[in-house]
Amino acid sequence: MLNNSDWQTIALQIERAIKQPFKISNIQAVSGGCINSAYLIQGQANSYFIKLNQAHLIAMFEAEFAGLKEITETQSIRVPKPVLSGVINNHAFLVLEAITLANGNSQSDQQLGQQLATLHRFKQPFFGWHTDNTIGSTPQQNNASDNWLSFWQHKRLGFQLALAEKNAYSSKLIQSGEKLNSSLDYFFTDYAPHPSLLHGDLWSGNAAISEHGEPVIYDPACYYGDRETDIAMTELFGGFSPHFYQAYNDSYPLHPGYEIRKTLYNLYHILNHLNLFGASYQQQAQNMIDSLLAEIS
């Protein structure tokens, strides 16, 4: 927890960033997920959401700042506006616009699908991003590549498998995962993805509706990649509503092969959960690998 002097220093930095006075009238601890601590700081006219972590993790916040800024500039879907990031008293911090959230409905779910489709139409001539970032607290390498299969093999699936091996998970998992990773071209015989701007970590806990009914996404792990990876992750951990998927497909139809590839793409996130949170995810990862290998054989 920061002391009062630290909070006043952050308030001064916010003043410089927004170019108007800002004095803190209230500080409230709020949910920040399982990685960061978080606070809502309130002033007379403005409120801000602040994430805190250890000072050496400042690059994680700087990358999140950059991702939110890049999504903002597309004018496709609302994200919390990034204000500033920095280090104070052994803490890294990230200051964001505070958005009051509310319950969604079928109309807002449809709008979310349409706006995500618009975001995915923003492209680059390469896969990756201009900087590395994190998926949760795991490093995510984004070296630019013109080959999606190579990028996914080495920077996504292969990276997680190597981490699982380092963490001493079962040799069967590692060996079958490597066999799958060497056979990825099977899933792309009639499909060549374009490098779309991705949220990168789009599960149901990272999307909501503002009090004015606007879809909002947050906590991104941005890069340019196959848009199917974002849609696949929306189906993990509860999924989104049918209104969302119908609106997305009406705006930007998915390739028929998505129904198989979504397991490949979600394997990355389940392996990441295995490496972050432990062996309870090992059998799920193994089942996903086995089902994908069964498609090949």
Residue 121, Cβ neighbours under 10 Å: how many? 14
Could you report how far apart the first and last alpha carbons of the chain are, in Å? 54
HEC profile of 57-125? HHHHHHHHHHHHHHHHHHCCCECCCEEEEEEECCEEEEEEECCCEECCCHHHHHHHHHHHHHHHCCECC
Largest Cα–Cα distance of the chain, in whole Å? 65
| Tokens 């000072």, located at residue | 55
Of 175, 174, 184, 179, which is closest to residue 263 (Cα–Cα)?
Answer: 184
Of 283, 118, 92, which is closest to residue 215 (Cα–Cα)?
Answer: 118
- Respond yes or no: is residue 201 known to be catalytic: yes
Identity of the residue numbered 185: D
Report the half-sphere exposure of 13 (CA within 13 A, side-chain side): 18
How far apart are alpha carbons 154 and 145 in whole angstroms? 11
Sequence-distant (≥ 6) Cβ neighbours of residue 59 within 8 angstroms:
132
Q: Which residues of 170-180 are buried (b: 16+ CB within 10 A; e: fewer)?
A: eeebbebbbeb
Please pick, among 132, 146, 201, 290, the residue that the annotation labels catalytic: 201
Of 236, 180, 177, which is closest to residue 204 (Cα–Cα)?
Answer: 236
Report the half-sphere exposure of 249 (CA within 13 A, side-chain side): 10
List, by residue number, the catalytic residues.
201
